[in-house]
């Protein structure tokens, strides 16, 4: 290893898959592994070949592939108590997996040795030594995951150290200290990792969990104390509240610590990797995730936006593009003129600060947001608002003349029918459509009507629909805000509608969506 190199060990496919709601198929695991290899992590832990047929098949497939950057690791336990290592079926399955790296987990905490394993302390040491020595004799790189390292050290420091020394003497290439319960503070991680560093010659790793919200902080604390190997999961999936999040660790290592994790050319692909793994896992991407989230470089306050227009780093700790993200300027009732100018430029409008329209747009946005509109997630509606003010009397591509909704069927199986009249120029299109709900029916009827004059509207579809009651005190008379996300297969846009009537609010957002689609081919 180079002096400034940190080994990135990814356990998304094993530890990450233990998170609630995460369930990777064999194809999923292979696709994620391919992407991680391209990205440049050093190790990809594929799973535990002794736990299920899917992991066995993964290793069979992985052994047939050529990996450019990463080494594939299988995961298992030390030999069983009272069983010779060469006769342990689980150890045989690890060898049969044919991975160049095998990660073995063993006990550090006396509580686990005596109460969980119900083994004698010396026997636990022998289980660690025998297993590692046997795997090394078969030519494997061995990563020893010392389970409950920090709790074990706090309880009985000499015994914890004895387990790590046993692993080192048996030939472990990496001794990884695990905060398995996720309950330690960074100061504890620092102190105990430094103690291990002072006694061990092998590479030291750190594996932290996020039960206290300190998974990343504890991982970085371990690196600062001398660890050169860190284990984690893309997007922080994992058991309970998750694992150390590699999408935070990787840029922290590079940009804040001045060390090298993955190749520099991979860093601008970090956000893309994060979103890809979320997509495969069928998880909604967390917009507030540090570094790679949609809001990580989003600015709303007028003072902030004014400052970043002059000096971006005045309110940004790093250039967003360096990790594949981008700056976003939000528009709301907190916005100043600078927000409007920047946002208008993003949407393709040319505005200057001294134009009377700029002040009018700012005032109109504040007025409408006071009525319940929200433009942060509805940039298409915002673009239409700006266009309406700049063009004074913009040409209407279409207008909804009338609409009607009705339900038919039984309580168990009902269908909504929407009837709509749309005027395009001097032509009236009258259509009827069914849907499993009023919004779906209305959307289908509107698109069917518009498609007669604008065939390309058939490519537009609704991808997300959110409703929020703005004034719960008003009961059934409360205003409703509807946010709609639409796509034409190439781009996505958001629109908003507000009314005391949820159908009217939905129709307003739908009309904005269709109008935006027709204005911006």
The contacts of residue 271 (CB under 8 Å, 6+ apart) are: 291, 292, 323, 324, 325
> How far apart are alpha carbons 128 and 160 in whole angstroms?
12
User: Which residues span the domain enclosing 137?
Assistant: 7-281
Q: Which of 88-97, 204-213, 216-225, 288-297 has the lowest mean pLDDT?
A: 288-297
Domain's final residue, options 254, 281, 308: 281
Whether 211 and 356 share a structural domain: no
| Domain co-membership, 21 together with 93 | yes
Pair (422, 492) in one structural domain = yes
The confidence band for 266, taking pLDDT boundaries of 50, 70 and 90, is very high
Residue 409, Cβ density class (10 Å: 0-12 exposed, 13-18 middle, ≥19 buried): exposed
Q: Which residue has the tokens 């027709």?
A: 518
The pTM of this model reads 0.74
65 & 191 share domain: yes
For residue 305, pLDDT beyond 60: no
Q: With the C-alpha atoms ordered 494, 500, 506, 511, is the resulting torsion angle positive or negative? A: negative
Q: Hey, is 226 helix, strand or coil?
A: coil
Looking at 351, 370, 389, the residue that finishes a domain is 370
Name which of 251, 255, 325, 252 is nearest 294 in CA terms.
325
Looking at per-residue pLDDT, the higher value among 458 and 308 belongs to: 458
Q: Are residues 429 and 510 in the same domain?
A: yes
Question: Percentage of the chain with pLDDT > 90?
Answer: 64
pLDDT tens for 453-503 read 999 999 998 888 888 887 644 444 578 999 999 998 888 899 999 999 999
pLDDT at residue 474, as a whole number: 46
What pLDDT does residue 231 have? 98
With respect to residue 215, please indicate whether it lies within any of the assigned structural domains.
yes
Q: What is the mean pLDDT of residues 225-248?
A: 96
Q: Are residues 332 and 469 in the same domain?
A: no
Compute the distance between CA of residue 175 and CA of residue 153 in angstroms, rounded to an integer.
14
What are the tens digits of pLDDT across the range 156-198?
Answer: 999 999 999 999 999 999 999 999 999 999 999 999 999 999 9
Q: Residue 423 pLDDT more than 70?
A: yes
Contacts of 375 (CB under 8 A, 6+ apart): 330, 331, 332, 365, 369, 381, 382, 385, 496
Same domain (yes/no): 228, 96: yes
Count of the separate structural domains present in the chain: 3
Q: Quick one: 164 and 230 in the same domain?
A: yes
pLDDT at residue 323 above 80? yes
pLDDT at 339: 67
Q: Which of 208, 200, 157, 292 minimizes the C-alpha distance to 11?
A: 208
Alpha helices (H) in 63-204, listed in sequence order: 89-96, 110-111, 121-137, 149-155, 157-170, 186-199
Q: What is the CATH number of the domain that holds 494?
A: 3.30.160.270
Query: Does 389 reside within a domain?
Result: no
Greater confidence, 356 or 115?
115
Residue percentage of the chain with pLDDT more than 70: 91
Residue with tokens 């994060």: 274
Phi, psi of 491 (to 5 degrees): -145, 165
> What pLDDT is attached to residue 158?
97
Query: Can you give the pLDDT at residue 473?
Result: 47
Q: Same structural domain for residues 336 and 475?
A: no
């Amino acid at each position: 290893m180079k002096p400034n190199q940190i080994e990135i060990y990814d356990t998304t496919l094993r530890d990450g898959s233990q998170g609630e709601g995460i369930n990777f198929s064999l194809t999923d695991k292979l696709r994620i592994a391919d992407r991680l290899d391209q990205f440049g992590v050093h190790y990809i832990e594929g799973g535990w070949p002794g736990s299920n047929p899917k992991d066995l098949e993964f290793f069979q497939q992985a052994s047939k592939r050529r990996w450019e950057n990463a080494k594939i690791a299988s995961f298992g336990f030390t030999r069983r108590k009272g069983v010779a290592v060469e006769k342990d079926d689980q150890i045989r399955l690890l060898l049969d997996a044919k991975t160049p790296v095998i990660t073995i987990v063993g006990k550090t905490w006396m509580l686990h040795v005596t109460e969980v394993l119900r083994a004698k302390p010396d026997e636990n040491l022998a289980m660690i030594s025998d297993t590692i020595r046997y795997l090394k004799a078969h030519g494997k790189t061995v990563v020893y995951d010392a389970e409950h390292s920090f709790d074990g050290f706090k309880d009985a420091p000499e015994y914890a150290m004895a387990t790590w020394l046993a692993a080192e003497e048996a030939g472990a290439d990496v001794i990884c200290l695990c905060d398995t319960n996720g309950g330690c503070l960074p100061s504890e991680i620092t102190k105990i990792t430094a103690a291990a560093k002072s006694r061990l010659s092998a590479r030291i790793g750190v594996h932290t969990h996020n039960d206290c919200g300190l998974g990343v902080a504890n991982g970085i604390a371990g690196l600062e104390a001398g660890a050169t190997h860190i284990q984690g999961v893309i997007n922080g999936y994992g058991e309970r509240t998750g694992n150390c999040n590699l999408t935070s660790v990787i840029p922290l290592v590079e940009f804040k610590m001045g060390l090298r994790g993955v190749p520099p050319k991979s860093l601008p692909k970090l956000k893309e990797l994060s979103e890809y793994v979320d997509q495969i896992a069928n998880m909604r991407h967390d917009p507030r995730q540090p570094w790679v989230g949609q809001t990580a470089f989003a600015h709303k306050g007028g003072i902030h936006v004014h400052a970043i227009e002059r000096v971006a780093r005045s309110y940004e700790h790093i250039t967003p593009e360096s990790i594949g993200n981008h700056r976003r300027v939000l528009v709301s009732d907190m916005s100043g003129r600078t927000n409007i100018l920047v946002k208008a430029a993003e949407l393709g409008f040319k505005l200057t600060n001294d134009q009377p329209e700029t002040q009018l747009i700012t005032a109109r946005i504040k007025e409408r947001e006071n009525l319940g509109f929200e433009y942060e997630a509805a940039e298409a509606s915002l673009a239409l608002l700006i266009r309406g003010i700049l063009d004074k009397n913009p040409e209407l591509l279409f207008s909804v003349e009338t609409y009607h909704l009705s339900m038919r069927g039984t309580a168990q199986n009902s269908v909504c029918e929407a009837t709509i009249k749309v005027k395009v120029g001097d032509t009236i299109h009258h259509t009827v459509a069914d849907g499993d709900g009023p919004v779906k029916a209305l959307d289908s009827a509107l698109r069917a009507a518009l498609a007669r004059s604008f065939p390309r509207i058939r490519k537009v579809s609704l991808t997300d629909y959110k409703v929020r009651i703005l004034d719960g005190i008003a009961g059934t008379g409360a205003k409703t805000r509807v946010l709609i996300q639409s796509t034409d297969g190439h781009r996505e846009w958001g629109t908003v509608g507000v009314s005391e009537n949820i159908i009217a609010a939905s129709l307003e957002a739908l009309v904005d969506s269709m109008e935006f689609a027709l204005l911006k081919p």
